[in-house]
Structures are given as C-alpha cells and as structure tokens.
Structure 1
Amino acid sequence: MVWAAVAGLVAALCLGATGEARASTSASVTADRWTDRAHGFASLAGGTTGGAGGKVVTVTDQASLARYAAAEEPYVIRVRGSVAVEPFGSDIVVGSDKTIIGVGDTGEIVHGELHLDPGTHNVIIRNLTIRDSYVEGDWDGKTTDFDAIQMDTADHVWIDHNRFTHMGDGLLDIRKDSQYVTVSYNQFSNHNKAFGIGWTTNVQTQITIDHNWFTGTKQRNPSADNCAYAHLYNNYVSAQVTDGDPVWTYGNWSRGHTKMVIENGYYDGVQHPYQADSTAELVQRGSILRNTGGRTDTWGAAFDPRAFYDYRLDPAAAVPALVGRFSGPQKRIGVTLRVPADHPTVQAAVDAVPDGNAEPVTIAVAPGTYREKVLVPATKPNIVLQGTGRDRSDTVIVYDTPAEYGGSTGSATVRIAANDVTARHLTFSNDFDESAVELNGEQALAMKTTGDRIVFDDTAFLGNQDTLMTDSPRLTAVSRVYLRDSYIEGDVDFVYGRATTVIERSVIRLLSRGSTTNNGYLTAASTWTGNPYGFLITHSKVVSDAPEQSFHLGRPWHPGGEPAAVAQVLIRDTELPAAVKSAPWTDMSGFSWRDARFAEYRNHGPGAVTSADRPQLSDADARTYSVATYLEGADGWAPQARH
C-alpha cells in the first residue's frame, strides 16, 4: 500500500530530462538521474573528473582491470561482464585520475575489492556491482577485511550508481581523512556493516551522501566519525536486519565531532533511525519515519550545505520509488568525453575512443566554434557527437577546404565512416568562399558519411556546392542515414550520394547564385540500381530567395559514368517555394533524368505545380515509400521511433 502510493506520487510528478543537480525544492523528478559530472562535495576544490582526458578502454578480466586501474596515466575503464578476482578477497589498486564504469547494468567485480591507497585523488567509480566476498560465519567481519571499496587519505572521489552486496567486512569504507567525496544513487544490501566513514581523530572529511538505498543491512547506514561535514539527503533506509542487538543496529550515526545534516530521508522499519554522540552535531529536517523506534537525536547547528554547493532536494514521500528506480547500475549510463574540458578538440576526443568500440560513447561538445577537420573512422562505431548549447548554432564545427585541395572527400569538414554514429545539436559548416578565388572545382563539403545507421538530430549543414554527401563504402553497399528537425543549405548538388537517406521535418534552403534561370540543384543521387530506396524528403519545408523558376529539385549522378548508379529521389508532403522550376528534374553528364527514379507526392506551396514533367506517386505506391520502408532493412533499424 505504501509503496504503491509513493510510486503513484512519483508518476504524477513532472518528469524532466536534464539529470543535473540544482537548487530546488520543487516536486519535479527527472526522467534520468545521472550526469557525467560529479556533484556535492566531490565537485568542489577543482572538482572530480576521473579519467577525463585519457583513453577509453574496455576490460573483461582481472589482469586488464588491474593494469589499467594502477597505471600512472588517466584512463576511462569500462568493465564489461563479470570480472572474478583471485585470490578470493584480493585488492584491485586504483590509482589517481581514473574512471571505472560498468558497461550497461551487468558490469561487476566478484569477490574482490577496489582499493585507493593514501594520496590517491580524482577517482570516479560508477555503474558497477561489487559482490560476494563474504566468508561464511564472519558476520561481524572480524577475520577478513574484504570491503567492496576502501580508501585511505584519498581526495576527490565520486562513488555513483553502484550495487554493493554481501561482502566480507564493510561495503564502503572511507577512511583516514579522505576529503571531497560524494556517494550517490548506490544500493547497499545483504550486509552487516554497510558504510563507514572515519578511522581518524582528525576532523577533515567533507562528504555528500544522497539518493542511496540501504536495505537488508544492520549498521553503518552510514556511520560518520569525525567528519568536518556530512550531508545526507534523499536516502532510503528500509528492511533493516533485526537480530535483537539494541545498540549496533541503527540507521545513521553522527559520531565524534561530526557535523551532520540529514534532509528528506525515508526510514522504514529502522531501529534508531538517526543518532548523535554528545560531542557531535546533527540537524534533521523533512524526513519520513515509518515503523521505526529508538533514537532520533538532533542537537547543534551543524552547517548549511547550500553555503558549499547547490543541490536539488526531492520530497521525502517520493524517495522510496525514486531511489528504487534510479539507484544502482543503469543500462543507459555510458561514457562521456567532454570537449574542450577533457579533450582540446573534437578529433582528440574521437581518437580517445577505442577501435572496435562496442558500447556508446558520448562526445559532449561545449558551445563554441571549432575550426578543425574531424574524421570518425570506420574502426570507431557507436559514437554520439552532441552539442551542449541551448541551440544547434551555439556549437559549430567548421573548416574551409575546397575540393581543389583534396578532392571532394578531402574537402569535407567532418567525415563519418563508422557505423552507428549520432550527431545532435550541432552545426557542420564548410565556409570556403567560392567567389573569393578562381578554381576548377567549387565543391566544399560540410559533411560526408559512408557509415550505416547514421542519425542527425537537430543539426545544421552549411555550405554551397556539395554541402552534404551521404554515401556508402561501395556501389552495392547500402548505408542508411536519418536526418530529423535539421537544416541544410546549398546551391549545386548539395544533398547527394548513394546512401539511403531520409530527411524528415527539416528546412532546406536553396541558395541563389545570382542567376535568373539556373541557380542549382537540390539533389544529385547516385543510388545503386539494386537499391529501391535512395533519398526521401518528407514533411519538410524548402525555402529560397532565388528568383522564380530558377532551381531544380535534382539530377541523376552517375559517378565515373557508372550505369548501375540510378538515382532514386522522392519528395513528399513537403512545401516547395516559387524558386522551384515547373520542370524540376534535369539531365546530368549525358544521363536522362527520365531514366532515373524521381517522384513527388502531395507536395504543396507555390513550387508544387503538377505537369507531365513531374512524376507523381499513386496513393497505393506512396504507402510503400515511407520513412520505415526506407530505413528498416533486415535489421529492423527504426531511428524515427526513438527520435
């Protein structure tokens, strides 16, 4: 009954999408509860960035994990699958400047400990399960010291979205004056001594503990001894182990000279929910207690967490469902490389992604103009290029190479040869000024793709001739590209190539070259004759300030005179301007447009007249030329359903 009521409350709350910690007492709950940035005390005094700036590696065995974790240089270490540690209970030593992150929700370390030696700094441990170093009969952990994570005199550590269960002594021990630590969205279960902080007479540790779930544990949920500042908020302590122990069964304990603040927690079935030594201070506000008894100590002023950092405080009633859903490893948490914070250029971030990459890596590009050429090689699939500005125009990748100085491929500002690449909230530009110099070729690509399953979402492509080329590795290979909510501009053949390409809900601008009769060609498809699907422009808007009757919709490109490259272009349900010719298709290099596969369906606007020179699909045929039929293929790829 209680769980259902709380779950209903969370479902009724407004779901956002940022996942950022911010100062708020509103009842909003985000759809995803993670970011790539540490919050709380771990964000202070220079912040905690882990392996940022280092290479990304994936490990599946103990030897590889131990080698990269202890290396001197920074690494982002992805743990795929289960890594069994031998001998039983052994340490994996983690050096400074490391991120250790589970792949999906199945990365785990079994009967082994991650250990941070004194002096270790800047470590992120995320999205892992660490389990099962418990020695039968040693409930109090007196004969073994097999923690899940143990650190001594470390600083700047972020422990986030992990599951700790059934270990030998403590699940998490933060010891001996470790500083600037945040512990968030973890699950602690099936254990006696869950989470201890201290083992020192000094009063130095600053720690944030939020949105964690302690269930089936007995004590140390957490115990904080001699912490300068311990801020606990939105934690959930439930189903406490009950063995009749009147003292050492408890929730939170402010010990020694700790200053502790507890906010909007939820305690259900807990003995001594929160308690404090007479020498310590504890402030509690907003928590919910159900089926509890024993001590609920509060005395002293402690401290004001907002004097150190901003944070979002969720309502206590939402905590069980919120923490139940979002704590522990999450399938969608992945690796994020930031430009320029982690890597100075976009290309440097791409280079940090390992060859044969099997898991998504996000390259988050801060607002700015990046004058560089970028290649995503075929060996580096599963990359997301994402601008982080408010608008796609805030983040621009631009260069100015014409085809005269490297061929059409070499002119491209960005080339994507890998499969499964997505770009969002970005502008790609080739700002070569074709009027500034006299060249034999004026092609200057903003983007060329040859990979399969490429997505452009809220992107812009700026150029003149040959702005956007969507291609495939060879004539008979089918690559698919999906553009949505985007903008493309150009004049001559500025959307071209042989890839199966869908442009949906986008704006296409036909630029004027100053002619009253022929300003250019929107498309130049070179679709393989064995592929029924070339270019589809649908539910979009074509705009232009070129003179009326001065622009073609397309012409058939046969590269090198290849007869098996037979253009297929369908423009449907799209607004066309007066600049479009009433006979919009034309010949190219001796190949007749009438031998190509050009068609329209239900277009509108002043440029959408019908005539014998404008083939139209029938209603029956139009049903077989949809976004889904263009993209799905044998693998059922359906990006339109996810964007």
Structure 2
Amino acid sequence: MDALVMNIPPRPPESISRRHLARIGTAAIGSVAAVGAAPPLATARPAAGPEHSDAGAIDLLRRMRVPPGPTSAGGPVWSALATGFAGVRTEDLPLGAVGGLGGTVVEVRDAEELSAALALDGPTVVLVHGTIVLPFGSMLEVGSRTSVLGVGRGAEIVGGGLRLLQVSDVVLRNITFRDSFIGGDWDGKSEENDNDGIRVDTSDHVWIDHCEFVRLGDGQVDIRKDSTHVTVSWSILRDHNKTLGVGWTDNVLTTLTLHHLWFSNTHQRNGSIDNTALCHVYNCLLDGSSSYGMASRGAAQLLVEHSVFASVRNPIGVSDPESRVAQNGNLRDGTWGSWEDTGVDVDPADHYSYDLDPVEDVRSLLARHAGPHARGEWTARQIHVSQDGSGDVRSVHAAVGAASRSPHPVEVIVHPGVYREVVTIWPRLEGLVIRGASGDPADVVLSYDKPAQDWATVTVLTSGVTLSALTLEAALEDGRPAYPLRSIDDSLVLSDVVLLGGPHGISDPRS
C-alpha cells in the first residue's frame, strides 16, 4: 500500500504555449517570490521513494477509511500528502502542509467534542465521525498544525463552518459542510448569515481536500487577506450563490491551486480570483453557473488548464487591465459570454510539479471521485421548498440543482413565502415541474432585481418545463428593462403564473 500511495514517477507538466507565458524568466520568477513570498522550486506531488515520505500520512488515510486505489494522472486520488501550493515544502514544513500529523489524535462525534478538540494546544488530528450540528451560523476557530478529517462515509458539519485566522499548516479532508443558508437571504447580507463553510484569513499552507459544500450562508470557501500556499482539491461546490472567493486585500500575495473541483448549479465566484499572485486551476468542471465562472481581477494572475465549462455564463473573464488569465486545453459546452485568454506572467511549474488529466476525462473522473468518500445524493421525486426549514431545502435554486443531478423526473413544490433569489432551469431539466404548494400564486413569490441585460429572476434553458401557481417578479426600481421570466422558446407551460415588473422574454440568452 505504501508503494502505491507514495511511489509516483516524476513527470513534467504538459507544456503551455509560450505566447501565454511570454514573460516567464528570471525576472518573472523573482517578482513572484517578492510579492508571493514563494519558496524555491519544490515538488508538491508526494515525491518518489520512502525516504521522502512520512508513514504517518499513509496511516492517517487508513484511519480515515478511504480507498487507497483510485488514481489520476497526478497520482492517487486520495494523496497522502498535500498537492499544489499547499504541498510546497519549506524549512519549517519539509513535507508541505501536514496539519496535526504526529500530534494528538482526538475522535469527535458532536459539536462540544469538536470545539474542545480544536482548542487543544499543539499538533492535533481531529477525526470526525458522523453528523456534527453546530449552533446555527457559528464558525469554529482552527489553530495551526491541525487536521480535521472525516472518518469513512457521512462525516459532516451542519449549520456552521470553520475559520482559519492567521494560522499555518492546516489540513481539512473528507467532510461535507452544509445547510447554514437562511431562507430568503440569497445574497448572504443579513448579520446572522455572515458565515462561510471555510474561511481562510492571512494563513499559509492550507489543504482543503475531498470536501463538499452545499447550501451555506455567505460564501462556501473564502480565501482572504493575503493567505498563501493554499490548495482546494477534489471537492464539490454546489447549489449556492457566492461559491469560492479570493481577495479582501490590496496586496497581491496569494498563491492558490484549485484542482479537480466540481461546481454544480452555482451563480458567481467560481472562483472570483482577486489580488492573487498566482491562481492555478486545472481539471475542474463548472456545470451550470448563471452569473460568471472564473474571473481574474485586481492584478491577479490566473491560469486555467484542462477544465470543462458547461452551461456557464461568462466562463472565463478579466475584470481590469492589470489582471491576466491564460488558458490551456479547456472545453466549453453551451457557454456564453466572456472567454478571455490574455496570457500570464507566471508559471506554477516554477513552484511545484503536476500532471494534467485529459480534459475529456474530467467529467467522469469527478463524478466518481470528487467530494467525500462514498458520497451519494439521493433525490426524491418531489422536493419541498420551505424557508422555515420544514421542507427538504430552503431555496428554489437548491431544489432545481438537486433535480438537475437526479436520474429521474422531479417535481418541486414551493411553500408560501417571498423567495429573493435567482433560479436557472438548466438544459438537462426537460419536463421539470415547479408549483406553488397552496395553488394561489400570491402565496409564493420569486423575486430579484437585475436588469434584462444581466439575468432574469427565472431563466429556463430547456423545453417542456411547467410553472404553476407562482408569482415571478423583477423587482428592479430604476426603470431599466427587466425580466421576471425568460425562456429559450414557447414550449414553457404557465398555469396560474403572475408576472410582475416586466414581460416574459422569449429568447435564448446564449445566442
């Protein structure tokens, strides 16, 4: 088993066209070291040979009860050691981020035990069993040299999240973070809803791996305030507005690797890469994003390789003249809007080695291996939406996301309330039914306030959908045209549907 996990033959990354990396050289490497505090070239993939490994890291995989066998081009799907920027080695961290490896091991099964374990001094490995429900909207502090690892199947943190503030060397793996969303607060602006799944502030060497983020408060993963050497890998981010944000600083220091991530039914920040010395994205899948996909902003450098963009508005964009993005071997299917490729000034291969999976394999690879071990998403034939938590989910957007991944037809039943949110019915949702539970359209209002040039409150990108007993509202008040409803054709069935603030636009926003 040790040889399987650790003995990976070195191979240089697939080359990138020199026109994308025209300014790479001694000066460019020096500039990254200056602004990003990057150490010399190091191998982020676990190096070949036991003399470069740590048996304790392999033993932790056994204790997590995760499979040792599956592999990708870069090695084991469940790597023993951190990959990407989190795996870059330093004098203090000769194996990169290892968290609490070698320290106290604590097993926890409830919020009180988790809180106590995270408060321990010294290196700590926290093994999470089953569902841990936090006080709603709360975030627990994680200290330096800490690992929080789910054991087997079904480890999850519900109702809150984890916060890393000015810490170093943290590993978070095999955990689902879910359901801190407050019904009706789509933008995450209420005081009680300013929480994230994971928030990383001014920290370094952080590895988030094989996690799942769904229906959370403000952001799902926020990487902020000059954090460096961060990797988010093999994780799922779904059914959310603001997904993965980077920045909250005027400095350009952050170094970040995003690889083998699956974004599903999201709106924006997939991710939003702001003030980042280098963000390296590879082998990711964006499947249904209604505002924008990946954006380079604030003088950021963003490299996107061998990733798939399906039904994504503005899949790859640049927000200002100082920012850069380069592409290598990406695929798009049913996307519309920006698809930028300006070239970048930096190269991740100057910091770590990596291998790219073929882009045509990305979707199937992530379907099999992304997220926590043995995760599954069971969807009933009826999904009930209620803002008070008495239904299956608290937003129509989340219900539509679940339906989009279901192998069978789904009816979404919406209970009374004003749902301020954006809903997109994706191309694979032919025949979807969304209906108000009471039968009175006045009882269920879906409302949002964007102009027609941006998006409608409800956008239908497929045929044969039925909407019943609903009020759809474009709540824009500045006089600009707005759509409460937009569909690609006239096959949409409307029964007892009231439109406020604008007409039903029949046109394909992708054209």
| Structure 2 match to 1:51 | 100
| Structure 2 match to 1:147 | 196
AA aligned to 1:161 is: H
Q: 1:130 Cα deviation (Å)?
A: 0.5
AA aligned to 1:132 is: D
Give SS of 1:138's match. coil
Q: 1:74 Cα deviation (Å)?
A: 1.0
Number of aligned positions between the proteins: 308
Matched, 1:172 2:221: yes
| Structure 2 match to 1:41 | 85
Distance in 1, matches of 2:76 and 2:372, equals: 12
**Matching of residues 393-432 of structure 1 within 5 Å:** none
Please say which structure displays the higher CA radius of gyration.
Answer: 1
AA aligned to 2:185 is: D
Distance in 2, matches of 1:191 and 1:259, equals: 25
| Structure 1 match to 2:185 | 138
The Cα offsets for residues 525-562 of structure 1, whole Å up to 9 and x where unpaired, read as: xxxxxxxxxxxxxxxxxxxxxxxxxxxxxxxxxxxxxx
Distance 1:112-1:311 versus aligned 2 partners, 3 A rule: same
Distance in 1, matches of 2:222 and 2:75, equals: 31
**Matching of residues 580-599 of structure 1 within 5 Å:** none
Matched, 1:318 2:361: yes
Give SS of 1:269's match. strand
Distance 1:37-1:164 versus aligned 2 partners, 3 A rule: same
Residue of structure 2 aligned with 1:109, choices 157, 165, 171: 157
Give SS of 1:324's match. helix
The Cα offsets for residues 590-639 of structure 1, whole Å up to 9 and x where unpaired, read as: xxxxxxxxxxxxxxxxxxxxxxxxxxxxxxxxxxxxxxxxxxxxxxxxxx
AA aligned to 1:41 is: F
Distance in 1, matches of 2:276 and 2:366, equals: 25
Q: 1:295 Cα deviation (Å)?
A: 0.1
State the superposition RMSD in angstroms.
2.0
| Structure 2 match to 1:60 | 109
The Cα offsets for residues 34-53 of structure 1, whole Å up to 9 and x where unpaired, read as: 11200111112331110011
Q: 1:239 Cα deviation (Å)?
A: 2.3
Give SS of 1:297's match. coil
AA aligned to 2:176 is: T
Q: Structure 1: where are the runs of 5+ without partners?
A: 1-15, 243-248, 333-643
| Structure 2 match to 1:237 | 286
Question: Contact 1:213 / 1:327 at 8 angstroms: preserved in 2?
Answer: yes
Matched, 1:97 2:140: no
Residue of structure 2 aligned with 1:69, choices 118, 131, 136: 118
Give SS of 2:312's match. coil
Distance 1:60-1:28 versus aligned 2 partners, 3 A rule: closer
| Structure 1 match to 2:336 | 293
Distance in 1, matches of 2:213 and 2:232, equals: 12
AA aligned to 1:23 is: R
Distance in 2, matches of 1:89 and 1:21, equals: 45
Matched, 1:268 2:316: no
| Structure 1 match to 2:324 | 281
**Matching of residues 320-335 of structure 1 within 5 Å:** 320-331=363-374
The Cα offsets for residues 11-50 of structure 1, whole Å up to 9 and x where unpaired, read as: xxxxx95485953569965895111200111112331110
| Structure 2 match to 1:488 | none
Q: 1:167 Cα deviation (Å)?
A: 0.2
Residue of structure 2 aligned with 1:250, choices 292, 315, 323: 292
AA aligned to 2:86 is: A
| Structure 2 match to 1:567 | none
Distance 1:218-1:22 versus aligned 2 partners, 3 A rule: farther
Distance 1:53-1:192 versus aligned 2 partners, 3 A rule: same
The Cα offsets for residues 166-224 of structure 1, whole Å up to 9 and x where unpaired, read as: 00100000100011101100100010000001000000000010000000111111111
Distance in 1, matches of 2:10 and 2:303, equals: 18
**Matching of residues 571-610 of structure 1 within 5 Å:** none
**Matching of residues 476-491 of structure 1 within 5 Å:** none
Give SS of 1:197's match. strand
Give SS of 1:253's match. strand
AA aligned to 1:34 is: W
Moved over 4 A (4+): 16-22, 24-32
Distance in 1, matches of 2:204 and 2:221, equals: 15
AA aligned to 2:182 is: V
| TM-score w.r.t. length of structure 1 | 0.46
Residue of structure 2 aligned with 1:192, choices 241, 247, 259: 241
**Matching of residues 462-473 of structure 1 within 5 Å:** none
Q: 1:57 Cα deviation (Å)?
A: 1.4
Distance in 2, matches of 1:30 and 1:54, equals: 28
Question: Contact 2:287 / 2:310 at 8 angstroms: preserved in 1?
Answer: yes
Distance 1:28-1:160 versus aligned 2 partners, 3 A rule: closer
Question: Contact 1:233 / 1:265 at 8 angstroms: preserved in 2?
Answer: yes
AA aligned to 1:229 is: L
AA aligned to 2:328 is: R
Give SS of 2:366's match. helix
Matched, 1:78 2:127: yes
More contact order relative to length (CA 8 Å, sep ≥ 6) = 2
Q: 1:328 Cα deviation (Å)?
A: 0.3
Question: Contact 1:22 / 1:312 at 8 angstroms: preserved in 2?
Answer: no
Give SS of 1:63's match. helix
Distance 1:286-1:199 versus aligned 2 partners, 3 A rule: same
Give SS of 1:115's match. strand
The Cα offsets for residues 38-80 of structure 1, whole Å up to 9 and x where unpaired, read as: 0111112331110011122110011111111132211111110
| Structure 2 match to 1:160 | 209
AA aligned to 2:314 is: H
The Cα offsets for residues 447-491 of structure 1, whole Å up to 9 and x where unpaired, read as: xxxxxxxxxxxxxxxxxxxxxxxxxxxxxxxxxxxxxxxxxxxxx
Q: 1:301 Cα deviation (Å)?
A: 2.7
Q: 1:140 Cα deviation (Å)?
A: 0.9
Q: Structure 2: where are the runs of 5+ without partners?
A: 15-70, 376-511
User: What is the percentage of aligned positions where both structures have the same residue?
Assistant: 41
| TM-score w.r.t. length of structure 2 | 0.58
Distance in 1, matches of 2:5 and 2:305, equals: 22
